[in-house]
Structure 1
């Protein structure tokens, strides 16, 4: 709403509860009122959200003779900030700054004692802090409070007020992590004009509200930890009992199993075992992985007994692009060997289980695959393809994307579209050649041609908006999954059931994460939208351990220490449950789901791990209960073992002092 007249400050506070609903009942949230007028507003916010209340005092250090000009500020918690620009510009002596700071410090302590007595200020480090005032005009007091709070290390700062000019709210977003302005009257004259009753708040009223808020908090409700502990189901090495898995999956056709890192043994091993059970007990017929299509199809040929590779290890040699350990590791090797044995026992081609890739990084390998296929079925078409794809002959895919995006080189968009249309035009003719194998090889070639088409767009988009390239990639993966499901359904004469392997960030519904605020989508969201009720999204989390990851793109694989999860994170909450590992199902009737529906930070480690910028590099905000249908937590995990174990990887990484820098 842009305008509203509040009865009084308490009424204004109740109006703020709705916009802050995502913080309801969270143990990592605290509300701080700016005395005195902000405290009645903050009281209603804290009571409405079921979280603690405290006050945060800020005293401006006014320049003598010009008190409206701030030399800095001091605040609760012993925080002092200075405005060096004003101090240098006015030439005020250091002893004057100290004298003013001493005077204001004494007044700040007097007021804190008046409000809190001997009770110390509540801890804010690592917590979500909602700073509340009764309104903003210029926003100077709120900005000073936020600047001072930053020195105390909160995880997230929300500035919340009932009324403020729209321009002030917009400017404040540069300072706070989140800004909530319940109303933005226009024109804006004064904060008091948004209230019927704007009488001054007394010290006694502040004390009474703080005391009542403490009494309410002392009436214990079930904590998030206790709710999760009561809902947690046992797992063994990350795998639940068969009956629990059956209840979770039900009749779903698509089971998407994630990972919180691209380098954790327990995630890979548990996912492989879950997949074995889905194949054996539920009739799943394919694994679709976050892997390049041609390299994964080489594995598919091996597990079906079609390829030239004599062993599972040889079949995985196609994965040479960084990061090779993603698929060339001990856990995937074991699964591929098992899948070959399973298919050998099945005998019938249509009863065999396939292994496929969803990703689009294999531009040049897919070009070669298209030409190679056409050379065997239609040499003239192969010559046309070779001529069209010659457009990519200069440099690698990233170089092509850069030159095409900035107009320094020709775009190959027309050629890749022509080739895809040409291949599809002759598809029926090619498919008639030799039964099911011919159908599969045609499908393989057509997917490669579509991959080249999508990869060309992706590499051009890489040098534009990040959202565009992310969305292109995840749409390609979702479209490939749909095409694969349709192909296998036609072949088998029954709806194909597929397990998907990818990172949590691709498989957890983007609409329940901060990705959505950036306009990003992902595979999990797209699958839920296309197959409502016919998919299950399963995530993994861990608190600490080791991980296989690199320092930078293309760098060698290291065995790195995973820092204990940050305060306020999903992982820290699960660690507090005190169990080595467990499964949480997050259906509507789950008690854990309600506790996990509010926003928290969640860790995501990809192929690169930078612990020194842990918060910025590896955490994003999620509503876990809406992100996944279930999550498996393994408190301490160890690094995935690459097939090429170097001395560097074996030596690992020395534990570092924590937390030195986040």
Structure 2
């Protein structure tokens, strides 16, 4: 089979084509002899033939296989591959009886990108597999240790999800960045355990900041409060900047208590001093809020620059003042102007004048300049993000996590600005889906990145990641984006999931291949992993909340709490108090 387009595009001569065909023909004969030996070809007349390949790119070899099989008159031809471009899958769907494409990565770069292990299969392995009977008498063997048996031996007790200080110290080591996750945005125990570990890391290990999956300006209001600055008189007021859905992620009892603790702890040190620990946001949903903060800062330090900022940011005025998606939709589909140039120009303007602004005295002035710079960066990144929302999920997701990584890096540099201080150390609070390494999950095949992956690539052994999981309980979540916070029942984890394995292991524990080599084997198996965000849809549990993961490489450690309860929002509604009706409501049967 010859692809004429490829031949013309590469300017392959007839002689070169003959040489290639002769060489490949010899290789086909060699493989046929090596693999089949003296066995005759299998008679497939009238039978269903399933053709499995490691993946399709152009599909040239599969076209040749289908053509050869048709000559043998099978009843049906089915193609099954783990990865292929959508266009190739659609093309084969019109040529054979059925096509199974497990994943269709976008963009499709190469078949090997969809595999965790893409080593070549040797001739000997092929011969051994072909010689292995697919059916035969069962052999009675002694029962082997299950994965749960192995994990029970290496699991480390973690009451309430909090390991001992000795275990935490060994796990963290000298890492400068510790990412602590959550498998839902609304579980009390995850938040409580994360806060307890963070308190110890701040007090005993010199961590100087919490960087949360929160909007930059809203979190910075909390930062001012915990440092004894600003006008807020209590943590509830300091958290009132979190107004957009889902407010309960940060306006809840656990975060409120942590913020009060951090302020009390910081009062031992002079206001603005290096030993004080801060609270920062990594996210980019604050397009219009960040615009306001950039202008507000420039009004104080450079009125002429503030006027330039107002003129540039006026480009965004055609969109709803609280809705970045409205801007993105209009810009993406030509219903409104793109403000990309204006956002970039304003970021450059702030950065160009940073030295002059920084000449003001005191750490506070440096912090406020950094705050303004990051707001300008957030406007620029949010503008790109909201336009990308309408071009593909992977693109917008990657832009968001790349922004988080950039903000984290800038924060680390900012906190490192004093050479006489020890290197800055930061705790990150975010969902497992951001904290974990994408390369150990199925989303990697689609080209998706995560904050945890980027941090590992940039900081290596100076970073650690900890994931959380639960088997069942309740969770605070909505039934739709923008919906009311509800206390919803969490279904028992699915069969074949990480959560089911941990449920069979123990009640509340930490497990880590980094701390115990014996933990690696059971954690290196691909299983389903649950992820509940701010929306929980039990009716479509498998499709909406599970993905394939390999925990050994996804996190440095995982903490499992078998039964958990819903996070309590500061604004408790009657719907949250009532919880969900049982599945047998209203009959009670």
Band of TM-score, shorter chain: 0.7 to 0.9
Structure 2 Cα separation of the partners of residues 354 and 464 of structure 1 = 36
Alignment of 1:527-542 (within 5 A): 527-542=455-470
Alignment of 1:13-162 (within 5 A): 137=69
Q: Give the direction of change, closer, same or farther, for the CA distance of 1:369–1:143 in structure 2 (3 Å limit).
A: same
CA contact (8 A) 1:586 1:628 kept: no
Structure 1 residue 474 corresponds to structure 2 residue 397: no
Provide the aligned C-alpha RMSD in A: 3.4
SS in 2 for 1:490: coil
Structure 2 Cα separation of the partners of residues 523 and 490 of structure 1 = 23
Residue from 306, 322, 329 that aligns with 1:382: 306
Structure 2 Cα separation of the partners of residues 377 and 178 of structure 1 = 53
CA contact (8 A) 1:288 1:358 kept: yes
SS in 1 for 2:552: helix
CA contact (8 A) 1:507 1:523 kept: yes
Aligned to 1:514: 442
**Superposition deviation, residue 587 in structure 1:** 1.8
CA contact (8 A) 1:238 1:582 kept: yes
In the alignment, structure 2 segments of 5+ residues that lack a partner are 1-23, 49-64, 84-90, 105-110, 113-125
Point out which structure has higher relative CO (alpha carbons under 8 A, 6+ apart): 2
Structure 1 residue 300 corresponds to structure 2 residue 223: yes
Alignment of 1:308-319 (within 5 A): 308-319=231-242
CA contact (8 A) 1:231 1:590 kept: no
**Superposition deviation, residue 222 in structure 1:** 2.2
Structure 2 Cα separation of the partners of residues 174 and 438 of structure 1 = 62
Q: Give the direction of change, closer, same or farther, for the CA distance of 1:140–1:614 in structure 2 (3 Å limit).
A: farther
Aligned to 1:355: 279
CA contact (8 A) 2:497 2:527 kept: yes
Residue from 570, 581, 584 that aligns with 2:511: 584
Structure 2 Cα separation of the partners of residues 336 and 268 of structure 1 = 13
**Superposition deviation, residue 236 in structure 1:** 1.4
In the alignment, structure 1 segments of 5+ residues that lack a partner are 13-36, 39-59, 61-66, 71-134, 147-156, 160-165, 183-195
Q: Give the direction of change, closer, same or farther, for the CA distance of 1:478–1:69 in structure 2 (3 Å limit).
A: closer
Q: State which structure, 1 or 2, has the greater radius of gyration over its C-alpha atoms.
A: 1
Aligned to 1:341: 264
SS in 2 for 1:240: coil
**Superposition deviation, residue 598 in structure 1:** 1.9
Structure 1 residue 286 corresponds to structure 2 residue 313: no
Residue from 277, 287, 295 that aligns with 2:200: 277
CA contact (8 A) 1:563 1:611 kept: yes
Q: Give the direction of change, closer, same or farther, for the CA distance of 1:369–1:215 in structure 2 (3 Å limit).
A: same
Higher mean C-alpha displacement, 565-574 vs 343-352: 343-352
Q: Deviations over 1:34-64 (max 9, x none)?
A: xxx89xxxxxxxxxxxxxxxxxxxxx9xxxx
Residue from 527, 534, 539 that aligns with 1:612: 539
Structure 1 residue 368 corresponds to structure 2 residue 395: no
**Superposition deviation, residue 466 in structure 1:** 1.3
Residue from 97, 112, 136 that aligns with 1:210: 136
**Superposition deviation, residue 655 in structure 1:** 3.0
SS in 2 for 1:346: coil
SS in 1 for 2:510: strand
Q: Deviations over 1:555-590 (max 9, x none)?
A: 10111011111111100111111x211100122852
When normalised by structure 2's length, the TM-score is 0.80
CA contact (8 A) 2:47 2:75 kept: no
Structure 1 Cα separation of the partners of residues 33 and 481 of structure 2 = 54
**Superposition deviation, residue 302 in structure 1:** 0.0
Structure 1 Cα separation of the partners of residues 98 and 164 of structure 2 = 48
Q: Give the direction of change, closer, same or farther, for the CA distance of 1:312–1:282 in structure 2 (3 Å limit).
A: same
SS in 1 for 2:156: coil
Alignment of 1:129-528 (within 5 A): 137=69, 174-175=99-100, 177=102, 209-211=135-137, 214-215=138-139, 218-347=141-270, 349-396=273-320, 397-491=324-418, 493-528=421-456
CA contact (8 A) 2:76 2:96 kept: no
SS in 2 for 1:345: coil
Structure 2 Cα separation of the partners of residues 533 and 566 of structure 1 = 33
CA contact (8 A) 2:47 2:76 kept: no
